A = this chain, B = another copy of it.
């Protein structure tokens, strides 16, 4: 996606430790028109598979997931990073270690919003080491739900999460692939 690549080259910054700072367009300030173009691309790339529902994780996945769900005319469900007081004990959960935040948390989705036999598309802003996607696979497996594909806005290829998913025969579509962030330079393929 040329538009997105150019925006990353213009607006993103490299921080020490392999962190790409895109909070001017994606995960703090959001450009809704760019986000709609991203959603159109996802809707196009996954038009050949069955998708009953879009899944994502709060908070930065919500914008691209919502617009993709809007275009595909299906519901969107966002996993929570904390168990809400309103959820009682009726949820599927999995542990996630966050790379950027340096902590771990219990990711949960209410049992009400995953139905056995459904096929879902997971959308997220980043794919790095793949900890979030593994937690989503655990949750969906527990619910009897198939993950038909992973739509990723920015894949940090050098952190291996995408390679692992592809080695397990999952369909992964990443709009931009970052191959290196060394020496504070962004390299994309």
Using a CB–CB distance below 8 Å, which chain A residues touch chain B? Answer: 15, 19, 21, 23-24, 28-33, 35-36, 58-59, 62-63, 66-67, 69-70, 73-78, 80, 82, 84-87, 100-102, 109-110, 112-113
Contacts and interface: CB of A to CB of B under 8 A. Distances in A.
A82 to B, nearest CB: 8
B110 A30 contact: no
Contacts of A76: 29-30, 32, 63
Contact of A33 (B70, B80, B100, B101): B70
Contact of A29 (B23, B33, B63, B113): B113
Contacts of A63: 62, 66, 76
Contacts of A101: 82, 84-85
6 contacts: A23-B110, A23-B112, A32-B69, A32-B70, A62-B62, A85-B100
A11 to B, nearest CB: 11
A12 to B, nearest CB: 11
Contacts of A82: 101
A50 to B, nearest CB: 18
A59 B66 CA distance: 12
Contacts of A74: 32
A32 B75 contact: yes
A169 to B, nearest CB: 28
Given A63-B62, A86-B21, A69 B110 contact: no
A6 B133 CA distance: 36
Contacts of A100: 84-86
A63 B70 CA distance: 11
A77 to B, nearest CB: 5
